[in-house]
Structure 1
């Protein structure tokens, strides 16, 4: 049945690839249609604010477009539908934050922008992690890189990783990460609306626990004592604290096992992690790349890694020794409380600034603006 579906899809693509391309049409999707988020969202948001209506024709693909009816300024299609293939085949530009499959047969006149989904990685990726990746994914990634025309990078360190590990030798756009623009420019309206969506009073301070997943999906490592952390934060920084927990999408169905307490709010289902980072005053993560996104806010970030030895031996390799990072590493709840109490903002910020300089950060808050200018050239030159 799957083989038949693919064959039919390829026939449809062949037919639609005979139709004219609409030069101002941009086709976007994030994580294969699962959300309205990440870099494609923030490119879209900038275009909608900065350009006249209908200057660009923005088409988004969603697995469930009926759940995205409240997004103004875009047209939406259901992934893998007949309409989906028509819009994909007749778009001038394709923008995504992940790999495309062999059901994107790029036309000569089309332009494919790969934004990727992090400004910098801690866990090794692509060719650097090839031995830990399925063969099918590696083959898909190689084919995807051949189609790519432009790859976005958040820092010089990432650029070097992409050159080495992406099976790609084309242009790298060294202008930062569109999704991080909102973390650099203070946006009180966004903060207010996000707090409102979560029913959090504006007077509260927010701590977010956002760890990555483990291959065995072990939940024992997420054993933070939420109540004691809230007490420690209130004692150190003052105010009333709200605890949010966002687990990795791979653990979405299991999040209630971690958050079944009145002490926390489960935001695992929340589409846009950047909006959550925007309201976060104190981040706790582990091996997730979002710590590098959050670093541009200059706010405190702790790495809760009770399984550090096991993780580094049995999961993917890391690009950095955790001791090289400016973020504060802790191995237990006791150490977490102690380091919160002894947190020194001056020391932390100095080490953070040094690290951002060392990796050659491109983040200046204008990534989406600069990419939109390139889109004008691509579509209307």
Structure 2
């Protein structure tokens, strides 16, 4: 079994399913090993050690320390190279059957990546030490998406329960997992489901060598390791990208970029050492062929890169935890991450990327080289990078140096010999925590620290608080906020970590109070305060009662309120699965308020953070009130698929408004769909009574996509009514855009192969190029913006991803920049100049989705594949730009009825047909 697949479950999210499958297949051998362990005695002086990346990591110093004091240490190897490396350190090696026997007899088993590092079948009953391979930034194991899914295996509840139990049993065998800080400990406990008695702040033996990094001998040894790359130069730049789950590094330089990199190295008398991840892909050989100042230091030349770090002068990485290691040596680190949005969303990050990067990263090598030129010389740029390194260390490393001996001492104490090592305590503590109206309040004993700021950090947003310093320190952070001039509402459901900062911007660790308030229902949310990440977290969730959250409660509510519901003259409206009160349902709601004010209008929302129109009723999904109105309403108005719990009521009609004219192929019109998906699409179409279409073209394709047999109403799109009635000046004021400034609205659609905001256009760079007379307003798609990860910062950039109504943004815009989004058809109602930013046109059209018509033939604006082309097209857009006739034809074809009265027509039709 190869090392990359040998882990019991942890570490790399998209490899979890493969490892899980192999773990399950190994269960018979594990059972036999467990039986054998009942009759084979273990000896606490016998150690078996293994490492998933060769002879190195924290396993090596720990093995050498145990061997130096007289313990019998055996290293499990699978290759001759590893055997030779172990022999060079004087460590005995075992493999195959010998590895099983040695593991079975060992009192202490040490692994770095998973049980497969040693002999999986022999670990039962040993004192198992798991030395993790870095401070976690990326979500791991249970925190990672898809950790309970296996390709080809049905994703159903019984399978998930089986896998969850298998993982729990595996993780429960770990007796000690040392980490560098309480913050790292919190993440590992969450990822592996382990307790504080197992995950302990003892430091990372792997980086003990870095605690001596300023010694000339250490730097000389490190430089010799870097010399293995063959690269020549006085100063060393290390490029160490992380692994992208089997995909190539998107930052692999082109031939021209290699030439410019070589020229930069020549100018600075430097060398570039490329250290790809041990499991990574990417062709860097072209760089070494370009210049003798570029060399490769792959796993074949150096198993563990950590001892080489003291010889590095500048680090370039993306999401790798090597940034934390380099920070302990005051090595300036530059971030090169062209795929930050996609990666952060698909993997998940424990820290916002802006926090990890210090608020800056580059997407191209040219931009990175310019940044490197500034940082290479003494000055503000270098000082900023060094200051950020110190913040990273303060945030994530509290036990540094001497970790090997602390871990050894902890093992001895657990086995009944000696005293346990001292572990660092939090420098400050929370004396009390409570909710005070719309705010969370904390009383803090700061000890020797000096707090200067406090904030709440969630996965998608950070909320600033207030700090009052007197005889005691009190922190106060809001649990509600107002967006875009709307009402104050509770923050979206999430876990928000309380971060108290010192003057350097580092987070101060906080010990939790002796007692915490019980979870409560308030502010339209369920609020709980919990210890988390060396601090506290306020966990906000939908306001379901304990009874509504209990096992089986939702099925019971469904039976009660959908079994024999009492009809109500009410309509339930839902947009984008309850994440917004917008789109066509909002346009219909607006018309209902005027035409049929006696009809109760209830909005289905995921939680209390979603703004709903004045005069409507909120129904949070899963509450008893939601089930009651879901069953009793005369009409359900939705713009996407219905919930899987939907049941057709005899008194009830479903009005499916959909959310745009389809350019991309949907459902049954898409090629390569599984039988399961095709059946689901047909069943979904049969749930609808009425389908609303913006135009005849949409009517034809939506009917075909869902095999819909009911009435199709071609009445225009209610979501476009505001295009004719919206107050441009008021909308711009809410956006903070001056009246004399032009607006380019960037509104891309989502991608099936990613959940992040699409970032094909560098919005900050575009705003800079357009100049002071422009603002770039960015609107992420409803299906992607929750993924986070995109840093929409920069002079002249307005992040309007959370703005309630994209149609209002069209009213405020002078130019629309989009790709394949149906917003192009809404813009037709204004004949708004449109630029199509389509660098991935061929891939999207030919692989991901397919088109319902030839966009190039009919498009009302130019195609742009590069930032230069987008800039030129935006500046040229407007009357007389050569696209006027195309825009008129586009409006006649796709928005003939978007005249500001579509909502009225839909409501009148609902009344006329007795739906209401």
CA contact (8 A) 1:92 1:379 kept: no
Which region of structure 1 is more displaced relative to structure 2, 55-64 or 249-258? 249-258
| Distance apart, 1:366 and its partner CA | 1.6
Query: What's the RMSD between the two structures over aligned residues?
Result: 2.8
Aligned residues: 365
Q: CA deviation at 1:343?
A: 4.3
Call closer, same or farther: CA 1:264–1:94 in 2, change over 3 Å.
same
- Is 1:21 aligned to 2:567, yes or no? yes
Aligned to 1:101: 643
Matched, 1:63 2:606: yes
Residue in 2 that maps onto 1:246: 779
Instruction: Check 1:241–1:124 CA distance in 2 against 1; reply closer, same or farther (3 A cut).
Output: same
CA distance in 1, matches of 2:876, 2:776: 20
TM-score normalised over the length of structure 2? 0.38
Q: 1:12 to 1:245 in 2, by over 3 A?
A: same
Q: Closer, same or farther in 2 for the Cα pair 1:358/1:6, shift >3 Å?
A: farther
Distance across 1 between alignment mates of 2:915 and 2:752: 46
The one of 137, 145, 154 aligned to 2:694: 154
> Could you tell me how far apart the structure 2 residues matched to 1:262 and 1:255 are?
20
Aligned equivalents of 1:41, 1:194: Cα separation in 2: 17
For the Cα contact (< 8 Å) 2:656–2:691, is it kept in 1?
Answer: yes
Distance in structure 2 (CA, Å) of the matches to 1:229 and 1:287? 24
After TM superposition, the score normalised by the length of structure 1 is 0.86
Q: How does 1:358-377 map to 2 (within 5 A)?
A: 358-359=893-894, 361-377=896-912
2:825 and 2:895 in contact (8 A); partners too:
no
Match of 1:259 among 792, 796, 804: 792
Query: What do the CA deviations read for 1:194-213 (whole angstroms, capped 9, x no partner)?
Result: 22322223333221111123
Matches within 5 A, 1:1-381: 8-17=553-562, 18-22=564-568, 24-52=569-597, 55-65=598-608, 67-68=610-611, 71-118=613-660, 120-129=661-670, 131-132=672-673, 138-183=678-723, 185-188=724-727, 191-217=728-754, 221-223=760-762, 225-227=765-767, 229-231=769-771, 240-252=773-785, 257-324=790-857, 325-343=859-877, 345-346=879-880, 347-359=882-894, 361-379=896-914
Question: Would you say the 8 A contact 2:587–2:903 is kept in 1?
Answer: yes
* Map of 2:470 onto structure 1: none
> In the alignment, is the contact (CA less than 8 A) between 2:662 and 2:701 conserved in 1?
no
Q: Is the 8 A contact 2:768 2:795 kept in 1?
A: no
The answer on whether the counterparts of 1:47 and 1:372 sit within 8 Å (CA) in structure 2 is yes
- Whose Rg is larger? 2
In structure 2, do the counterparts of structure 1 residues 93 and 257 end up closer, same or farther at CA, with 3 Å as the change threshold? closer
Q: CA deviation at 1:87?
A: 0.6
Q: How much does 1:5 deviate?
A: 8.1
Task: Tell me how far 1:321 sits from its aligned partner.
Answer: 2.2
Given that 1:156 and 1:362 are in contact with CA atoms closer than 8 Å, whether structure 2 keeps it comes out as no
Residues 1:278 and 1:137: Cα distance change in structure 2 (over 3 Å) = farther
The unaligned stretches of length 5 or more in structure 2 are: 1-155, 159-548
- Partners of 2:837 and 2:843 lie apart in 1 by 14
SS of the equivalent of 2:801 reads: coil
Residues 256, 266 of structure 1: 8 Å contact kept: no
Q: Deviations over 1:78-125 (max 9, x none)?
A: 11211111011011111000111331111111111000011x121111
Change (3 A) 1:75 1:340: closer
Structure ranking higher on relative contact order (CA contacts 8 Å, 6+ apart): 1
Task: Check 1:6–1:282 CA distance in 2 against 1; reply closer, same or farther (3 A cut).
Answer: farther
Q: In structure 1, the residue corresponding to 2:691 is in which secondary structure? A: strand
CA contact (8 A) 2:775 2:797 kept: yes
* Residues 322, 329 of structure 1: 8 Å contact kept: no
Separation in 1 of the partners of 2:863 and 2:846? 18
- Asked whether the equivalents of residues 667 and 678 of structure 2 are also in contact (C-alpha less than 8 Å), the reply is yes
- What is the DSSP-based 3-state SS (H/G/I as helix, E as strand, rest coil) of the residue aligned with 1:293? helix
Kindly tell me: are residues 2 and 336 of structure 1, through their superposed partners in 2, closer, same or farther at Cα, counting changes over 3 Å?
A: same
Specify the SS of the correspondent of 1:337.
Answer: helix
User: How big is the shift at 1:130?
Assistant: 5.4
